[in-house]
Structure 1
Amino acid sequence: MQNIKKLHTALLSWYEENGREHLPWRTTRNIYHIYISEIMLQQTQVSRVMEEFYPNFLEKFPTLEILSKAPIDEVLASWSGLGYYSRARNIHKTANLSTEKLPDTMAELLKLPGIGRYTASAICSFGYEQNVSVVDTNIARVLKRYCGLLDVKDEVVWKNADELLNHKASRAHNLALMDLGSMVCNPKNPKCDECPLEKNCLGKNEPELYTKKKKTVYESMDLFYAICIKDNKIALQKSTGKMYKGMLELPSCDPIDENFIDTYKHSYTKYRLTVNLYKVEELDNDEIIWIKIEDIDTLPISTLTKKALLKINNIL
């Protein structure tokens, strides 16, 4: 118990001096805004979310109700560049299920599309200021090292988070652990000499042991896309595949060497893609949508397709 009190004191003192309280989703108690930030931050760097996606998205969809009434194509277009577009589809579904207000309990939040244990706990802690533990990747790393948790299941990490939670300042406690993991307790080369918890950390002598991951096996895939342009319009179609469902993409085509334009690499989750572009004069495809070139930036187009458009600027 004495060590826990010391941990609380040292952690909050460090956070008061070093915490990232300037982040816009920390200076608000608007639950919807906090929710949007948490979903965006799942797969995107803090700087990109803060400077571009978060303010732009909230400017267009400032409330759950407005978001719920927006066409899904508009939501996907505003999400363009963030990737993992199932997140955008899920927040749209959630907005339609909770048009006035997000639930204020873990149990009810977990019933909503795309909200898992972490996101639900973050909303409850950072938004509703409830005494609940929060465990993201950064916090998990701090707890595993501090408590000496090697090769344990997630439930064990959450149990330790619950035991160490500061019930007098739970929100600041969770944010402090998050920032500590992001700024000091790094996956590689942690700055142990700057850590307020270093004295009682069980993993400080071999910190790398707690960040070993299984090697990811990537799947290679070749894609062949048609570039068909007429009257300053380009042929696109709505994707029905898993990767970019609902987004506009280039139509597929048979690779013909004399029509080859360019090729490029693209990564998407477990896929390592080789994209090949071919100029096509005609398309026999009933699903084609002709899009004005100048309208492309306002439409739901993936980063993969945007890369292709940059490659073909010389023929646009």
Structure 2
Amino acid sequence: MQKRLLQWYEKNGRHELPWRNTTNIYHIYLSEIMLQQTQVNRVRDEYYPQFLAKFPTLKTLADAQESEVLAAWSGLGYYSRARNLHKTAKLCENELPKSYEELLKLPGIGSYTASAICAFGYHQNLPVLDTNIKRVIKRLFALINPSEKELTRQAVKVLNDKEPRAHNLALMDLGSLVCLPKNPKCQECPLTSECQGKEEPELYTQTKKTKYETMELFYGVCVKDDKITLVKTEGSMYKGMLSLPCVDPLEDDFLVSFKHAYTKYRLSVHLYRLDEAPKDAIWLSLEELESAPISSLVTKALTALNLKKLP
């Protein structure tokens, strides 16, 4: 089974991904953090190369200001990832630890990320359990709602001790390309003869539906001398980022509304004309906004306002 899996991976795996063609532990670590909540193509084509161009080493990241890191992360969302990445760089500016246990002590590094760094970066004999691999394991052993402990036990059972890195990457790609959540391509799977769940594959991928919270947000837009006002965010949603100032809505000053999704929130955002800027306002030109730590919500607001140039 292991041999067939690796043969399939050699022919069909995503070998072109840049973080799979490097031995740089920092680059591998960065990719794992980015990929947690972002599609592979966006990470590969945009954020990963841009971030490394600005912070090519763990040391350069450690020496940067948090605002610079957040600005480079703008658009990726889940900004606690960027803050934890920066904190970890300050703690390990020369090299990340090599043990799973030591990695777990670092900000923002959980069980999956620690095992991924150990297996993909340090070639250690550990199973890696991302969403795709978990799905493969569930179906392979016909597990319904298994615990993390049970998933790990079964993953260890099939782990290729001689080639753990390739084995984990192969399972990851198998889940991404073949063992799909819906309509899996079982006829293309190299593990189909051993798969205990192939007769009812969707039975092992049932998940609880996410409950979303709806919120209404009201922001003010103050423009003067080709600049727009932003304020530093203190709340949990976009902590440390720059945002439009919150206002009490007045219908006479209404400009535009739009919808926005952020983690578990479904937001209705309303923008209003603001004549006076808050005392703590930061004035930025459109050119300065390009390198400022702003969220995708603010970017969407600027697009909704059609501010190609500030009046």
Q: Same fold (TM over 0.5)?
A: yes
Once the two structures are superposed, what CA deviation does each residue of 1:267-292 show, in whole Å capped at 9, x if it has no partner? Answer: 11111000000011113x32211112
Moved more, 72-81 or 147-156: 147-156
Structure 1 residue 151, shift from structure 2 partner: 1.2
- 2:294 is the counterpart of 1:301: yes
**Aligned-partner Cα distance in 1 for 2:227–2:152:** 53
Match 1:310 to one of 283, 303, 309: 303
- 2:250 is the counterpart of 1:256: yes
Structure 1: runs of 5 or more not aligned: 1-6
Secondary structure of the structure 1 residue equivalent to 2:22: coil
Quick one: which amino acid aligns to residue 59 of structure 1? Answer: A
Secondary structure of the structure 1 residue equivalent to 2:19: coil
Quick one: which amino acid aligns to residue 283 of structure 2? Answer: W
Q: TM-score w.r.t. structure 1 length? A: 0.96
Aligned equivalent of 1:10: 4
Structure 1 residue 313, shift from structure 2 partner: 2.2
Match 2:259 to one of 253, 256, 265: 265
Runs (4 or more) in structure 1 with deviation over 2 Å come to: 313-316
**Aligned-partner Cα distance in 1 for 2:261–2:65:** 28
Aligned equivalent of 1:169: 163
**Aligned-partner Cα distance in 1 for 2:180–2:280:** 48
Structure 2: runs of 5 or more not aligned: none
- 2:190 is the counterpart of 1:223: no
**Aligned-partner Cα distance in 1 for 2:266–2:32:** 27
Structure 1 residue 174, shift from structure 2 partner: 0.3
**Aligned-partner Cα distance in 1 for 2:211–2:126:** 35
**Aligned-partner Cα distance in 2 for 1:190–1:76:** 38
Structure 1 residue 118, shift from structure 2 partner: 0.5
**Aligned-partner Cα distance in 1 for 2:181–2:279:** 50
Q: How does 1:1-316 map to 2 (within 5 A)?
A: 7-283=1-277, 285-313=278-306, 316=310
Quick one: which amino acid aligns to residue 149 of structure 1? Answer: L
Moved more, 270-279 or 153-162: 153-162
Quick one: which amino acid aligns to residue 252 of structure 1? Answer: C
Secondary structure of the structure 1 residue equivalent to 2:153: helix
Quick one: which amino acid aligns to residue 287 of structure 2? Answer: E
Once the two structures are superposed, what CA deviation does each residue of 1:93-112 show, in whole Å capped at 9, x if it has no partner? Answer: 00000010000000000000
Structure 1 residue 18, shift from structure 2 partner: 0.6
Once the two structures are superposed, what CA deviation does each residue of 1:221-257 show, in whole Å capped at 9, x if it has no partner? Answer: 0000000001011110011111110000000011111
